[in-house]
């Protein structure tokens, strides 16, 4: 074995746990976003086995003529030391997964789509492996302070249907990893035949997804899980959009839990809210966040219920425990202050959709106050929906700013009433 390869493998064995943990963090982020959005998928991860890595290095040197002069040569050639697989129930969800990956991670290079036109080892009737591979890096804002050391890790994410992943695993181990000897022509033909069955199966999965969506939307019955709620949202929003692009749906699972708590998990509750969401100037925010905000309204009790739901959510935790703790009293004080500010704003501008933008149209209100309220509203959205994780001190400081803004608006409103007499 090449001395450079031996040294690389020795170092890799010491770093194996590091690559395993980087892959785990990546997989957890993917699973939280996809399952929370009602996308059915199986997300797995692994660090490459040192023995398999040794075999791959040797094979690339012997069969492909690779020349490894330094450890960097190996690291640049073999990019899947940390790997994640996303196996989709429905192949049509690939488009949404692409958006999620681009949002959650840094793309190190352009995604690679398969089949890629390479010459196969054997003549095939079908075109083989269908998937998209991403090479990504983690983003600092998705990690806790003790996880920042994984920022430089390169992670490969493979996205394909559950059927295609299963077939690819079999073919790769038998045809491309010489663990069982060279295959016969008959064995290659059987692999090709299985590939045809898998491609047919993917067509059936696409039809199954359409049938599932139709059943959910035609039944007009309560949603039994967040997958059904997600299917309803996607259909309704597609009908309202001029393009075929899927909207950012967000954490439908949290929305479902909130609706279920009030026995409102049905189309009759959600559909009227969607009419406002579609025309809302902030429609680029996740749809679930907007529907949650509309459902909560000014109801302090609903705010509290949703905060409890989020506090019990363990799926989205990627930070250390110390960074996810909430001070319930600070949250309650913050929400009380925000509800008070909303009431004052609505007194000024009414209840029409996009009421926060009505502030800028009120003559006499200082521009810096409007800017401050818009900033506070962005902070409120981040806090309520768990995008930001403030400390109790930060919450207290934000609460002071909200109360100050309410005081200024109340003074303006009182002055306006006096002038109108």
- Region 390-405 average pLDDT: 81
- Region 203-223 average pLDDT: 80
Contact criterion met (CB below 8 Å) for 344 and 407? no
Q: What are phi and psi of 345, to 5 degrees?
A: -65, -45
With 0-12 / 13-18 / 19 or more C-beta atoms within 10 angstroms meaning exposed / middle / buried, residue 99 is: middle
- Region 101-119 average pLDDT: 87
> What is residue 278's predicted lDDT score, i.e. its pLDDT?
57
- Region 230-235 average pLDDT: 85
pLDDT tens digits for range 30-57 = 998 898 888 989 999 999 999 889 888 8
Rounded CA-CA distance 130/87 in Å is 12
Rounded CA-CA distance 295/276 in Å is 11
Position 108 pLDDT exceeds 90: yes
Is the model more confident about 220 or about 156? 156
pLDDT tens digits for range 293-330 = 889 887 888 888 888 887 777 555 444 333 443 455 66
Q: What angle do CA 144, 147, 149 make, to 5 degrees?
A: 140
Closest CA to 240 of 269, 283, 209, 207: 283
DSSP character at residue 175: I
Domain boundaries, the chain: 3-207, 220-323, 326-421
Q: Which CATH number is correct for 3-207, 3.30.460.10, 3.40.980.10, 3.20.10.10, 2.30.300.10?
A: 3.30.460.10
Contact criterion met (CB below 8 Å) for 111 and 133? yes
DSSP character at residue 117: -
Question: Predicted confidence band at 117 (pLDDT cuts at 50, 70, 90)?
Answer: low
Question: Predicted confidence band at 150 (pLDDT cuts at 50, 70, 90)?
Answer: very high
Q: Which residues contact 71 (CB under 8 A, 6 or more apart)?
A: 4, 7, 8, 11
CA 163 from chain centre, in angstroms, equals 22
């Amino acid at each position: 074995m090449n001395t450079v390869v031996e040294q690389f493998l020795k170092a890799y064995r010491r770093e194996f746990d590091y690559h395993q943990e980087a892959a785990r963090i990546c997989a957890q982020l993917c699973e939280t976003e996809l399952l929370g959005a009602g996308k059915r998928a199986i997300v797995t991860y692994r660090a490459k086995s040192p023995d398999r890595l040794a075999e791959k290095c040797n094979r690339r040197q012997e069969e492909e003529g690779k020349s490894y002069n330094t450890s960097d040569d190996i690291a640049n050639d073999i990019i899947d030391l940390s790997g994640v697989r996303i196996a989709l129930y429905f192949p049509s969800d690939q488009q949404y997964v692409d958006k999620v990956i681009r949002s959650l991670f840094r793309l190190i290079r352009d995604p690679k789509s398969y089949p890629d036109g390479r010459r196969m080892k054997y003549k095939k009737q079908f075109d083989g492996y269908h998937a998209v591979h991403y090479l990504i890096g983690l983003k600092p804002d998705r990690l806790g302070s003790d996880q920042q050391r994984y920022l430089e890790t390169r992670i490969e994410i493979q996205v394909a249907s559950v059927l295609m992943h299963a077939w690819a695993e079999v073919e790769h181990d038998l045809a491309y990893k010489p663990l069982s000897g060279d295959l016969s022509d008959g064995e290659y033909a059987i692999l090709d035949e299985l590939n045809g069955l898998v491609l047919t199966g993917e067509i059936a999965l696409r039809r199954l997804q359409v049938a599932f969506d139709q059943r959910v939307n035609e039944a007009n019955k309560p949603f039994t899980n967040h997958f059904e709620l997600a299917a309803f949202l996607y259909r309704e929003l597609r009908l309202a959009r001029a393009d075929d692009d899927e909207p950012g749906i967000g954490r439908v699972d949290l929305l479902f839990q909130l609706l279920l708590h009030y026995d409102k998990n049905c189309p009759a509750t959600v559909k009227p809210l969607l009419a406002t969401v579609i025309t809302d100037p902030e429609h680029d925010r996740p749809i679930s966040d907007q529907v949650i905000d509309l459902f909560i309204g000014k109801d302090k009790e609903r705010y509290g219920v949703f905060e409890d739901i989020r506090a019990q959510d363990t799926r989205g935790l990627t930070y250390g425990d110390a960074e996810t703790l909430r001070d319930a009293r600070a949250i309650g004080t913050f929400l009380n202050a925000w509800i008070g500010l909303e009431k004052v704003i609505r007194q000024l501008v009414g209840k029409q959709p996009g009421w926060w933008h009505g502030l800028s149209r009120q003559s006499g209100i200082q521009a810096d106050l409007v800017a401050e309220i818009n900033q506070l509203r962005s902070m409120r959205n981040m806090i309520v929906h768990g995008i930001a994780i403030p400390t109790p001190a930060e919450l207290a400081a934000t609460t002071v700013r909200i109360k100050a803004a309410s005081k200024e608006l109340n003074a303006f409103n009182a002055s306006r009433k006096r002038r109108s007499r």
